[in-house]
Amino acid sequence: MATLLLLRHGRTTANADGGLAGRQPVELDETGRNQARAVGERLRALPLAAVVTSPLVRCRQTLELALPGASPVVEDGLIECGYGEWEGQPLKKLAKDPLWPVVQQHPSAAVFPQGEAMAAMAARAVAAVRSWDARLTAEHGPEAVWLACSHGDVIKAIVADALGVHLDLFQRIVADPASVTAIRYTPIRPFLLRLNDTGGDLAGLVPPARKRRRRTTRAADSDAPVGGGAGAGR
């Protein structure tokens, strides 16, 4: 199967200020822009079969800086979790909310006020990447590499699914700004190839082209056109 690269967007003004951006249109700060350019240097040599992105501006800005020649396709399934009334609030304030321990210890039960359930976010994100992966494998073959740019909790939920662990354990996973995580799905199980990679060489993630076996056939079984000679069918 194809190889999926999950890219988290670069640092935003909300990340720097300690706030929960959610689906608000926050943009990259200067550090985030530099992170995007740096990860672009690592990604640029990879033969990406497709680039898919969350619709939020911070992901689109990251890709504009990292892969300026790409034409990202927006995938709504990769959008940030809908935090509802929590959006735009300082994390220090949210940490005092009765829902906070649920989010941290039992996220599969967390439903944000006027927002989305974390379990629903995980389900639609996993469904989105698995659907894209199957489609790109069918179109480009098992050596294909593709990239999806999304958000921290979304990436952590996808990783938890790939590892076969319950969503209640996903807070143990880290996805830093501008980090790359690599997953390869197979008919039997997914494989987590990289996690939260912020500086390694990514070239080794490209699968080698599989060698085709040469067929040894008798003359009567050859693929020559009916009628025989080299000039037949010209």
**Which pLDDT band, with edges at 50, 70 and 90, does 212 fall under?**
low
Residue 230 has pLDDT above 90, yes or no: no
pLDDT digits (tens, 9 = 90+) for 158-167: 999 999 999 9
Q: Note the pTM of the prediction, 2 decimals.
A: 0.87
Counting Cα atoms < 13 Å in the Cβ hemisphere of 77 gives 16
Tokens encoding 145: 């590499």
pLDDT digits (tens, 9 = 90+) for 100-129: 999 999 999 999 999 999 999 999 999 999
Q: Is 194 exposed, middle or buried (0-12, 13-18, 19+ CB in 10 A)?
A: middle
Output the average pLDDT for the chain.
91
Residue 96 has pLDDT above 90, yes or no: yes
Do residues 25 and 80 touch, judged by C-beta distance below 8 A? Answer: no
pLDDT digits (tens, 9 = 90+) for 32-91: 999 999 999 999 889 999 999 999 999 999 999 999 999 999 999 999 999 999 999 999
Which residue bears the tokens 């990436």? 155
Residue 214 has pLDDT above 90, yes or no: no
Tokens encoding 73: 């396709």
